[in-house]
Structure 1
Amino acid sequence: MSEEITTSPQQIARPADGWRTLLAISPQSAVMMLGSLALAVGLLFVPADAVERLGAFGYGGVFVLVLLSSATIVLPSPSLGVALIAGRSLDPWIVGLISGVAAGLGEVTGYLAGRGGSELALRSRHYQRVQRWVSRWGALTIFAMAFIPTPVMDLAGVAAGALRMPFRTFLIACIAGKTARFIGVAWIGAAFLR
């Protein structure tokens, strides 16, 4: 004999939306999100000529700009543009390496949000899929997401933290993927922006 499962609309858990989502997140996640937002907005006001003069700041300037721009969660960052422009006037191999390390370190914010139990990611329609990928393929997923310029990397970082992927494994895979990407971007800048 088969039983029929019935549910009423009140029994179906619906994710919070709008302001309720913001109110439901943990304090740590809220601080990280507000910090990311402030950083992204602040980077919008960096004059274009300051980025153009990046060569004067050298590799240290590249590291700082890429690190700061990569520390945002889900918000777009100008880190690819920094590496592209820096590749024009500095050694593209070194720019790619420095940018990859800085971007990988910047992604630690997503990992820490996952370790801290970020509820906001759980409400993303893409998070469950990304979490399955991280659970199944681990560091390979982190490497691929770090290589491909997409905001899904932030969700992968949150998933890695939530799944308690060893920090060293996450960081090495992330830095390797970011470095491969940034070496290519810096070489594009060297080849086409001279």
Structure 2
Amino acid sequence: MDITNVEFMLLQIICERKEASGYEINQLIKERGYREWVDMGTTSIYVGLKKLSNKQLVNSYLDTTKQGKGPMPKKFEVTNHGVALLKQITLEYLSTSRERDNKFDLALAAIPFLTTNEVVTALQKRNNFLTHVASNINEKFESQGGVRLPLHVQALFRHPLLLIKHEIEFMEVLIKDLLEKNDDRRMDE
């Protein structure tokens, strides 16, 4: 099942909180700076929640404990299917995202829902994936003339190679830190 980055982020937040209203979700998005990784406004939150509900990834109910003026807020909670999909997509994004892909950043925010071993394995897969991508870029660069290419064309090859190099370095440090933690529990326990 395909979900958007907004839906992925919403699933994470609701799963982390166990339940949340649209207002609470919007506040967390502001506090954590999620808009740096996902292009969204307040309306996108409510559209995303409706889509998640239609896909049966979240359930909703009216919070009758609210006191004071205004309507009763609708609270959302993730279904078992939603939790399973969250884990599946997190593993996919951690292991196959290209450099400069916001999906990877969003997946990093979801690692508390996985075991340390799952995260390390996914990061190692991404490391191998990016190494292969870099190799393909290098081959194409050389086959098209390498350093004899115009500077602006060389830059088109060198830019992703440098980004990949730094992504791999970042993942190696993260893997080392995760292994030093040396447990196989879910990351949030």
Normalised-by-shorter TM-score class = 0.3 to 0.5
Which structure would you say has the larger RCO, counting Cα contacts within 8 Å and 6 or more residues apart?
1
Q: TM-score, normalised by structure 2?
A: 0.37
Please state which structure has a larger fraction of its residues in strand.
2
Work out which of the two has the higher radius of gyration on C-alpha atoms and give 1 or 2: 2
Q: TM-score, normalised by structure 1?
A: 0.36
